[in-house]
Structure 1
Amino acid sequence: MSMTFAGHVAVVTGAGAGIGRAAALAFAAQGLKVVVADLDTAGGVGTAEQIMAAGGTAVFMQCDVTLEADVKQLMAETINLYGRLDYAFNNAGIEIEHGRLADGTQDEFDAIMGVNVKGVWLCMKYQLPLMLAQGGGAIVNTASVAGLGAAPKMSIYSASKHAVIGLTRSAAIEYARKHIRVNAVCPAVIDTDMFRRAYELDPRKADYAAAVHPVGRIGTVEEVASAVLYLCSDGAAFTTGHALAVDGGAMAI
């Protein structure tokens, strides 16, 4: 796989923890300058500090991806600081609901759709013109295996991730001849704080989560980060509009 990242710039949203932090660290390890974006200041600063402690280049910028002004400022400050935007990993998201569709609330719907869908749309809205101006780039959005099929008792979350894949594929076709590639990663159950919050009250659910993956375990944030780097790399130069399952074989069943 060709990895020609040195000197390039990446923006990672939701980089204060979990998959976003792992991706930010992985980008930095390849020599990229990384803009660490998150609503959580402590988490975002922590990620940037980890990168710098390892000899990398990073800056934290606070951003609420549901607010157009925040996203616009994030991209403008990235250009002001580094002069370019080569890669974007639009990873910010919020966790699933746990109930049947008819038991969901409008507040849940608005919150989940606001971050998971509007946030991705806003980020691409302001990233794409920057990449057009410099002649190319690559974007990866975080979807989910819940966006590839049915997800009982998480219908709103599932709908939001189906929407992310739709945005990804549409943007990929629109910008394919402009040297901008747009793909998505679709993780299954990954060992994150979000996962631990969901299952901390019932360890049996954690055992079940491992069992539903044919490989017999849940995934790691580093494994998802590796998929993100691949989709951004020259090794994926002929890959766009793709929703890559990182799922231990779950979608093959």
Structure 2
Amino acid sequence: MTTKNKVAIITGAGSGLGQATAVRMAEEGVNIVVVDVNEKGGNETVEMVKKLGVDSFFIKTDVSKAEEVKNYVDKTVEKYGQIDYFFNNAGISGSGKYFLDTDVEEIEKIVQINLMGALYGVRYVAEVMLKNGSGSIVNTASSAGVIGQDSVVTYSATKHAIAGLTKSMVAEYAKEGLRVNAIAPGPTETPMVKAFYEANPAMKENATKGIPQKRLGTPEEVAELVTFLLTSKAEYINGEVIRIDGGFTNTK
């Protein structure tokens, strides 16, 4: 099935995994709706994908607010009349403090963006997809959503929840034509991860040592997986949480 003139919404598309996936999906002829709180990065992604010959526009969004999530869905439908693919990717990591040293305000912020933002996105996007008869969603979990990791307790809790969201949506709606999968990246060379390791340099060394391939992943490698899962190439894959971590969680 051709991907040309299909429509994808990508959240957190102003940098990192979202930006790399926007570019990779644009190479497949998919029109890209770029969603991010970062206006500069979002507009940069729009320009990158337009150079590949597809249509694109940016919607500034705080995904922790349900009304703003509904807005990006409504604007997409208003412009294109459809949503074929959704990369539900926006998220933050936190400060890297141990849980009992973490402020309640930080806990609430991580939960609102990582979990509630993902729930809102699936809620409003899936509604449109089911009306149109089909659709494919990829949620961003994490290696910290597969195993326990120190210094990221709240983040890990939200990413474990993403796995539950993914599997349960399939249990309810696969029979109506919806596919929902998740990726679980290990440490990857994104701006968010780089900033986290700059604040916690010892953790980068420990993480790299713990990866059998002895390096971090790249956003482009993750984008290839996301593109595969979103499109009809993965038509019979549903409800999976797929690790892409250089063997990191396999050794735990």
Q: Please report how far the alpha carbon of residue 251 of structure 1 lies from its aligned counterpart in structure 2 after TM superposition.
A: 1.5
Contact residue 182 and residue 241 of structure 1 kept, 8 A: yes
1:12 counterpart residue number:
10
Deviations 1:157-195 (A, max 9, x none): 100101111111111111110110001111000001112
Give the counterpart letter for 1:82 in structure 2: Y
Q: Following superposition of structure 1 onto structure 2, how do residues 200-215 of structure 1 map, counting pairs within 5 Å?
A: 200=198, 205-215=203-213
1:184 counterpart residue number:
182
Contact residue 97 and residue 156 of structure 1 kept, 8 A: no
1:117 aligned to 101, 115, 118, which one?
115
1:22 counterpart residue number:
20
Q: Please report how far the alpha carbon of residue 205 of structure 1 lies from its aligned counterpart in structure 2 after TM superposition.
A: 4.1
State the alpha-carbon separation in 1 of the partners of residues 199 and 235 from structure 2. 44
Q: Following superposition of structure 1 onto structure 2, how do residues 126-145 of structure 1 map, counting pairs within 5 Å?
A: 126-145=124-143
Deviations 1:46-100 (A, max 9, x none): 0001111232221111111111111111111101111110000010001133122
Deviations 1:191-249 (A, max 9, x none): 01112212235655433332211111100001111111111122211111110101001
State the alpha-carbon separation in 2 of the partners of residues 98 and 203 from structure 1. 11
Three-state SS of the structure 1 residue aligned to 2:138 is strand
Three-state SS of the structure 1 residue aligned to 2:121 is helix
Q: Give the TM-score, by structure 2 length.
A: 0.96
Percent identical residues: 38
Structure 1 gap ranges (5+): none
Deviations 1:134-170 (A, max 9, x none): 1000000101010111111211110010111111111
CA RMSD of aligned residues (A): 1.3
Q: Following superposition of structure 1 onto structure 2, how do residues 189-228 of structure 1 map, counting pairs within 5 Å?
A: 189-200=187-198, 205-228=203-226
State the alpha-carbon separation in 1 of the partners of residues 95 and 172 from structure 2. 33
Contact residue 215 and residue 248 of structure 1 kept, 8 A: yes
Q: Give the TM-score, by structure 1 length.
A: 0.95
State the alpha-carbon separation in 2 of the partners of residues 142 and 81 from structure 1. 26
1:56 counterpart residue number:
54
Give the counterpart letter for 1:60 in structure 2: F
Q: Following superposition of structure 1 onto structure 2, how do residues 130-169 of structure 1 map, counting pairs within 5 Å?
A: 130-169=128-167
State the alpha-carbon separation in 2 of the partners of residues 58 and 221 from structure 1. 20
State the alpha-carbon separation in 2 of the partners of residues 201 and 166 from structure 1. 30
Contact residue 29 and residue 53 of structure 2 kept, 8 A: no
Deviations 1:6-38 (A, max 9, x none): 110000000000000001111111000000000
